[in-house]
Amino acid sequence: MKILVIGGSYFLGKAFVNKAKDLHELTVFNRGNRPLNLSGVEEVIGDRTVHDSLLPLAGRSFDAVVDFCAYSKGDIESVYKALSGQFKQYIFISTCDIYQRGLGRMLDETAPLEIRDFGGEAGAYIMGKVDLEQELLLCANKYANAWTSIRPAFIYGPDNYAPRESIYFTWISQAGQIIHPQDANGEFQMTYVEDVALAIHNAIANEKAYNQAYNLAPTTMENYDSFADALSVVFKGAFEKVAVDVQTVNEKGIPLPFPLTKEESNYYDGSKALDLIGHYTTLAEGLKKTAPMSYQDYIDEIERLFDENKAKEAEGFMLRALNKARVENNMAFELQMLNELIGYYRQTSEKDKLVEIMTASIAVADKMGLMSSQDGKVAYATTALNVANGYRSIADLENSKKYYAVVQSIYDETLDSHDMLLAGFYNNMSLFYQEHGDIKEAMDYQLKALDIVSFNEAGFETAVTYANLANTAFLLGNKTGDYSKSEEYAKEAIRRFEERNLYDAHYCAAVSALGLCLFNKKEYEQARDLFQKGMNIVENSLGQNSQYLRLKENRDMCISAIASLQ
């Protein structure tokens, strides 16, 4: 769908754009102060408060308009006029602050709106949003469009410009302490930014969301104690709570971000929005994704997510870590994340992203001058091997051969004959020769790798090598008619993986080899079940990538064979 985004370059808007960019055709209109520079996203620079600034959008039509930065009366009407209402739905990002204060009850979307101006910047913000809620209805009625109002409570998350959770992060990082108002009885609701972005995304072209307002407010009420508890989970208790009373906070003007008393508190019913998001992110989960992370924190979290087969979430952390390294000019960690991403995109078969990351990794390795020292050469070879494997996975055998030659040259110069790095290299060279059709050479390389991993008693690597041997032996069996070696290797690989409770793409490669052996023995039902098992594992961890499609093709082959016997 074609979506016009007003704003969209920071915090909530940026979270939405990142969520929607791969699924929709986005045009982002803003002042251009923070260019997104995202592939496939059109950026139009302008300020709707300036006369004729919206003219570049005139005559264009969209499926939806998502407005993140309407604050003053006339902001919504100006967009309607510029587009002559040529869109189906207007989604306005409002706020729970529009409701009347002091009602002493849980406020749903039908609660009365505030009519009092409390003065100052906050008062102007509230009254502006109230005016725009009414303007939205009038414009939608005039142009016969659908409207949706998204009304979040306190939003928090990465890139939050409001001084809320970031105050605490600063206190913890700089002093190992937080100021804690021990007698505060105020309550508040905190909504993770990705939940709001998801609600907006799921409201687009959703007829159930037409002409509806949604409070985005978790059912769990927070207070200063529960907030400190959530921080303790995130930072593993590595800070001290400095207790103060509310009177001291007020007298000293300590900038605490949430209501201190019941009288200041407001309560919003966000249950309706569950139809859009399913569930709210807990405060501890959201703060964990928001808090500044050390490089080791990123590595630990990425490893945990892969261990739990949450590869898509791991991708997000790797990209965040990559950005952190680039901002801080930490080229060593940047290269580490680039290497991790090469492996990820190779497995997910995302060719364009893979080529982009591989190109960047070689550029960083060259910039670091790794080839000028012995240890640096080995590190360079690691990157070159990942790049060679990446090019092999997209059938670019010329570039693959080029980087394998680089690795071979470095390893010949720097490693002894039983080094585990050589085993990994031999395994990958065997796959290269398989794809060249030289099965005997491929088998020779794998047997060399098996000698090394066995010598080093490397459990996981031995299992991977047996899986590779199983598939290579199967190819030899296609020439000789003897699949016994392939079956033997596959069963050994599966046994070793299952001993370690490892069910990943390598395990599925062994499962696939055994399934093919059983198919050739006409044990079709057992083969079908193995292929289905592999499909389930790959889909749950990496999605429907090329390995999944190969497994599916083999499973369907078994189903056809079974049907032909009936």
Q: How many CB atoms lie within 10 A of CB 242?
A: 12
Give the Cα separation of 64 and 89 in Å (integer): 5
pLDDT confidence of residue 533: 95
Give the Cα separation of 464 and 461 in Å (integer): 5
Query: Whole-prediction pTM value?
Result: 0.59
List the chain pLDDT tens, one digit each, 566 residues: 999 999 988 899 999 999 999 899 999 999 888 888 888 899 999 999 888 889 999 889 999 999 999 999 999 999 999 999 999 999 999 999 999 998 888 999 999 999 999 899 889 999 999 999 999 999 999 999 999 999 999 999 988 989 899 999 888 877 888 999 999 999 999 999 999 999 999 999 999 999 999 999 999 999 999 999 999 988 877 788 999 999 999 999 998 999 999 999 999 999 999 999 999 999 999 998 888 767 777 788 888 888 888 888 889 889 988 988 887 788 888 998 999 999 999 988 899 999 999 999 999 999 999 998 877 898 899 999 999 999 999 999 899 999 999 999 999 999 999 999 999 899 889 989 988 889 989 999 999 999 999 999 989 999 999 999 999 999 999 988 999 999 999 999 999 999 999 999 899 999 999 999 999 999 999 999 999 999 999 998 888 888 999 999 999 999 999 999 87
- Residue showing tokens 């056809």: 560
Q: Could you tell me the end-to-end alpha-carbon distance of the chain, in angstroms, rounded to an integer?
A: 47
pLDDT confidence of residue 517: 95
Give the Cα separation of 97 and 77 in Å (integer): 22
Pick the closest to residue 180 from 137, 146, 231, 120 (CA basis): 231
DSSP helix/strand/coil, 72: coil
Pick the closest to residue 471 from 497, 507, 522, 501 (CA basis): 507
Q: How many CB atoms lie within 10 A of CB 379?
A: 19
117's tokens = 């101006």
Give the Cα separation of 483 and 501 in Å (integer): 27
Pick the closest to residue 360 from 395, 314, 325 (CA basis): 325
Give the Cα separation of 565 and 435 in Å (integer): 34
pLDDT confidence of residue 519: 95
Say which residues have a Cβ less than 8 Å from residue 286's Cβ, sequence separation at least 6. Answer: 156, 157, 190, 192, 194
Amino acid at position 156, single letter = Y
Give the Cα separation of 138 and 125 in Å (integer): 20
129's tokens = 């949003």
| Alpha-carbon distances, residue 200 vs 2, 91, 150, 156 (angstroms) | 15, 8, 7, 16
User: Could you write out the DSSP letters of every residue in 429-467?
Assistant: HHHHHHHHT-HHHHHHHHHHHHHHHHHTT-HHHHHHHHH
User: Could you write out the DSSP letters of every residue in 495-529?
Assistant: HHHHHTT--SHHHHHHHHHHHHHHHHTT-HHHHHH
In total, the chain counts a number of residues equal to 566
Structural contact between residues 186 and 264, judged by C-beta atoms closer than 8 angstroms: yes
Say which residues have a Cβ less than 8 Å from residue 64's Cβ, sequence separation at least 6. Answer: 1, 3, 4, 87, 88, 89, 90, 91, 204, 205
